[in-house]
């Protein structure tokens, strides 16, 4: 009987510790909206502007080649009546070859633009992932979920949303890296 208060006290302390652990654990389940981070990240805007500039230059090169080819085609149409059958055939083959080269170049440029876009996007995502990982460690979170609007987090209390706080820190961190 004399031990009963001691046992009850120990049990109460153990129960309080377990309750505290579970309360703390449930508050460690937080998330960020990945789309908002990507859109709001300063580096995304800068990288996109640089990418657009490169892509427009490459597309401009294709446009120049196409304009040159169209001028040659118009010239051919005007000269056509005065050309011999052999000259006509040679000119047609030349124009076809040039068109095929331009088409091949256009496909290569499109592929390069897609690869460059993927690379730029992956760089931004890597920055965000690295920052969120460090943020989680620094603030003692066991898990930070990434919501992307695809239904992976259907509901979460607003207090679990770290997006704005992480975005603010991410942009401040990027500002110091530049």
Q: DSSP class of residue 2?
A: T
Q: How confident is the model at residue 155 (pLDDT cuts 50, 70, 90)?
A: confident
| Matching residue, tokens 């909206």 | 33
CA atoms of 123 and 36, how far apart (whole Å) = 16
pLDDT digits (tens, 9 = 90+) for 21-54: 554 544 568 889 999 999 999 999 999 999 999 9
CA distances 85 to 71, 82, 88, 93, Å, are 21, 10, 5, 12
pTM for the full predicted model: 0.69
pLDDT digits (tens, 9 = 90+) for 76-115: 899 888 989 999 999 999 999 999 999 999 999 999 999 9
Burial 141-174 (b: 16+ CB within 10 A, else e): eeebebbeeeeebeeeeeebbbbeebbebbeeeb
Check if the beta carbon of residue 129 is closer than 8 Å to that of residue 42. no
């Amino acid at each position: 009987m004399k031990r009963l208060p001691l046992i009850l006290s120990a049990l109460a302390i153990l129960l309080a510790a377990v309750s505290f652990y579970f309360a703390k654990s449930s508050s460690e389940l937080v998330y960020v909206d990945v789309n908002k981070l990507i859109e709001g990240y300063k580096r995304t805007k800068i990288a996109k502007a640089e990418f657009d500039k490169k892509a427009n230059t490459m597309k401009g090169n294709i446009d120049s080649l196409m304009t040159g080819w169209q001028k040659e085609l118009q010239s051919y149409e005007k000269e056509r009546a005065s050309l011999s059958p052999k000259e006509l055939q040679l000119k047609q083959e030349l124009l076809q070859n040039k068109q095929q080269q331009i088409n091949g170049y256009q496909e290569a440029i499109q592929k390069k633009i897609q690869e460059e876009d993927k690379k730029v996007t992956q760089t931004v995502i890597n920055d965000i992932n690295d920052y969120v990982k460090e943020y989680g460690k620094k603030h003692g979170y066991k898990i930070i979920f990434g919501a992307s609007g695809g239904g992976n987090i259907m509901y979460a209390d607003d207090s679990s949303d770290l997006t704005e706080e992480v975005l603010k820190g991410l942009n401040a961190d990027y500002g110091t890296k530049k």
